[in-house]
């Protein structure tokens, strides 16, 4: 048999065309030269997740994917040619119509809103878990917090309180050696305070060393709180060293436990859910499967009156016009203001906002930052953007909101949780093993191969979208899983025990 006849036996490789206006398609399977798919004869090898031209594209003409320009042809491109960095320039494109709120799709409520079983707290918010937190104002008290958590878990005391999900030491590497005022201090204080009053904690003990910059007494004054049955503070220096402090924390938690364990799940509307949207370890499929499926689920949550938080500012850079067009002028201005802040932040630190896509992204088929950002924004569905928050600010709005965070996963998720997120959904292509405490985090695989390889870590396989499952069906599957997890079903990362090392507040400014 000749090679020609062999190739004629190959199944037609699968491709995805994401919008009727697109002039490129994405290869779901690797395409070989001579393969015919959707009526186009491939003239190059196109790796999985990479793009093939559907028709002739002249030099200077825009490449269209998601119905949006993602770059400009830097050479004439023939139908069936591989489209990537060798023949695409990322030259800034006119963003077109920047008018506010012209792009959003209203998500009107319909039918009976969904519900879940949650822990209603005295401040009106609702928890999806019932943990006890040991917070630390500074790295110098991190080990003491962990010793105390271990001592309580070892004591078997929790066996009598099945309703408590565990004791969580929230430790980190900062809290001293920073300026006593300014952005870095404010961000850290907001983060600490957001955790201290998070509805997934039934009770909190905060422990400091005593001489650190982030003084607990000052924080209490600035945040307007006092000691209570559910919130106690102490310092190692006042208490007299490691052993006494561990004993005192253990004793305090022993006193807090009966009340904390008396909390009961009750039926609550989905409007009390606040979902943090995350992506990490993206690949060429992120934008095609998990991100738009999560966007669909996010729209369902918004329709039910819930809150969905898009973040990771560096990863939406280049696609901000898509968000501005879904926002009021005031909200759009707030977003542009944060992007300008980022340009200054990266410049004064000798970095660049457009160091994306990374070599790994490029290997996976992402050609330009705009293409990557369009994929990242897909997580947020099509809802109106209601508000823009700074890192770790308390989120008060319902609907879709944006919180300004770095793209680095633990830092971004920490900001969202501080803001009040009680659920996290994390899309990943390369395979992240992220988990969070006190907030359950679902991981969504963008492709079936990784889902099966890392099945103990992945909650949902969005790779099935490449195998015929519709985005809508997968979006509903995600939304249903969110309600179950909010009601107590444990995620893969919770079963593995993740979350004791993933509290990473955004550290801005000099370490001194």
Question: Interface with its own copies includes 151 (CB under 8 A)?
Answer: no
> What distance in Å separates the CA atoms of residue 195 and residue 390, rounded to the nearest whole number?
16
Does position 435 interact with its own copies (CB under 8 A)? The reply is: yes
Look up residue 501 and give its two tokens: 């090392």
Instruction: Pick out residues in 405-424 that bind Ca ion (CB under 5 A).
Output: 407, 409
> Site for its own copies (CB under 8 A): which residue of 173, 258, 329, 394?
173
User: Using CB under 8 A, which of 67, 240, 251, 394 touches its own copies?
Assistant: 240
Query: Which range touches Ca ion (CB under 5 A), out of 45-53, 168-176, 403-411, 428-436?
Result: 403-411
Q: In angstroms, what is the minimal distance from the CB of 498 to its own copies?
A: 5
State the binding string over 386-415 for its own copies (x if CB under 8 A, else -).
--------------------xxxxxx----
Asked if 425 interacts with Ca ion (CB under 5 A), we say no
Residue 348 binds to its own copies (criterion: CB under 8 A):
yes
CA distance 117 to 195: 21
In whole angstroms, the minimum distance from the beta carbon of 364 to its own copies comes to 10
Partner interacting with residue 242 (select from its own copies, Ca ion, none; CB below 5-8 Å by kind): its own copies
The verdict on 360 binding its own copies (CB under 8 A) reads yes
- H or E, element range at 234: strand 231-235
Residue 279 binding target from its own copies, Ca ion, none, CB below 5 to 8 Å by type: Ca ion
CB under 8 A: which stretch of 82-90, 210-218, 221-229, 461-469 binds its own copies?
210-218
| Of 44, 103, 117, 183, the one binding its own copies by CB under 8 A | 183
Interatomic CA distance for residues 7 and 46, integer angstroms: 16
* The only residue of 56, 121, 430, 484 in contact with its own copies, by rule CB under 8 A: 430
Residues from 436 through 465 that contact its own copies (CB under 8 A):
453-457
280 binds Ca ion (CB under 5 A): yes
E-only strand ranges, 158-211: 166-170, 201-208
Of 511, 434, 510, 507, the residue nearest 191 (C-alpha) = 507
For residue 171, state whether it binds its own copies (rule: CB under 8 A): yes
Q: Which CB atom, from 18 or from 442, has the smaller least distance to its own copies?
A: 442
User: What is the spatial distance between Cα 321 and Cα 338, in angstroms, rounded to a whole number?
Assistant: 13
From the list 191-199, 265-273, 326-334, 347-355, the region that binds its own copies by CB under 8 A is: 347-355
Q: Does 346 bind its own copies (CB under 8 A)?
A: yes
Q: Which tokens sit at 254?
A: 């022993």
User: DSSP labels for 290-334?
Assistant: HHHHHHHHHHHHHHTT-EEEE--HHHHTT-HHHHHTTB-HHHHHH
Q: Cα 464 to the chain's mean position, in Å?
A: 21
Enumerate residues 304-363 that contact Ca ion by CB under 5 A: none
Q: Does 502 sit near Ca ion (CB under 5 A)?
A: no
Do 61 and 24 form a contact (C-beta atoms < 8 A)? Answer: no
Q: Is 429 helix (H, G, I), strand (E, B) or coil?
A: coil
The token pair at 32 is 């070989």
Cβ partners under 8 Å of residue 202, min gap 6:
119, 127, 130, 131, 132, 164, 230, 256, 259, 260, 261, 263
**Chain positions contacting Ca ion, by CB under 5 A:** 279-280, 282, 407, 409
């Amino acid at each position: 048999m000749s090679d020609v006849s062999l190739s004629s036996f190959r199944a037609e490789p699968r491709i995805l065309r994401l919008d009727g206006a697109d002039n490129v398609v994405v290869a779901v399977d690797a395409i070989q030269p001579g393969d015919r798919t959707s009526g186009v004869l491939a003239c190059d090898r196109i790796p999985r997740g990479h793009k093939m031209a559907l028709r002739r594209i002249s030099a200077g003409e825009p490449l269209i994917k998601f119905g949006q320009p993602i770059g400009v042809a830097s050479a004439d491109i023939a139908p069936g040619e591989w489209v990537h960095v060798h023949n695409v320039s990322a030259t800034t494109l006119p963003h077109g119509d920047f008018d506010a709120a012209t792009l959003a799709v209203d998500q009107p409520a319909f039918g009976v809103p969904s519900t879940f079983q949650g822990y209603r707290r005295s401040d009106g918010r609702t928890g999806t878990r019932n943990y006890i937190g040991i917070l630390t104002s500074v790295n110098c008290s991190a080990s003491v917090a962990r010793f105390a958590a271990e001592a309580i878990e070892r004591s078997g005391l929790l066996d009598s309180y099945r309703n408590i999900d565990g004791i969580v030491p929230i430790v980190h590497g900062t809290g001293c050696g920073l300026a006593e005022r300014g952005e870095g201090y404010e961000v850290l204080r907001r983060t600490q305070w957001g955790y201290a009053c998070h509805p997934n904690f039934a009770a909190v003990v905060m422990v400091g060393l005593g001489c650190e910059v982030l003084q607990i007494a000052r924080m209490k004054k600035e945040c307007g709180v006092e000691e209570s049955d559910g919130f106690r503070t102490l310092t190692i220096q006042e208490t007299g060293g490691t052993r006494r402090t561990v004993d005192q924390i253990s004793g305090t938690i022993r006193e807090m436990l009966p009340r904390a364990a008396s909390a009961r799940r009750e039926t609550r509307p989905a409007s009390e859910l606040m979902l943090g949207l995350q992506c990490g370890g993206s690949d060429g499929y992120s934008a095609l499967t998990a991100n738009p499926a999560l966007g669909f689920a996010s729209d369902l949550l918004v329709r039910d009156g819930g809150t969905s938080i898009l973040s990771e500012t560096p990863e939406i850079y280049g696609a901000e016009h898509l968000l501005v067009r879904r926002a009021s002028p005031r909200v759009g201005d707030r977003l542009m203001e944060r992007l300008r802040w980022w340009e200054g932040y990266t410049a004064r630190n000798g970095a660049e906002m457009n160091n994306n896509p990374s070599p790994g992204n490029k290997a996976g088929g992402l050609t330009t930052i705009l293409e990557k950002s369009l994929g990242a924004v897909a997580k947020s569905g099509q809802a109106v953007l209601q508000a823009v928050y700074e890192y770790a600010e308390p989120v008060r709005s319902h609907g879709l909101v944006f919180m300004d965070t770095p793209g680095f996963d633990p830092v971004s998720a920490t900001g969202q949780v501080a803001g009040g997120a009680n659920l996290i959904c994390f899309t990943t292509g390369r395979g992240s093993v992220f988990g969070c405490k006190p907030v359950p985090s679902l991981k969504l695989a963008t492709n079936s191969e990784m889902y099966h390889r890392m099945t103990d870590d992945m909650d949902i396989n969005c790779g099935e979208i490449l195998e015929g499952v519709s985005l809508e069906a997968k979006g509903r599957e995600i939304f249903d899983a969110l309600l179950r997890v909010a009601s107590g079903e444990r995620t893969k990362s919770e079963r593995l025990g993740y979350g004791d090392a993933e509290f990473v507040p955004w550290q801005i400014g000099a370490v001194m």
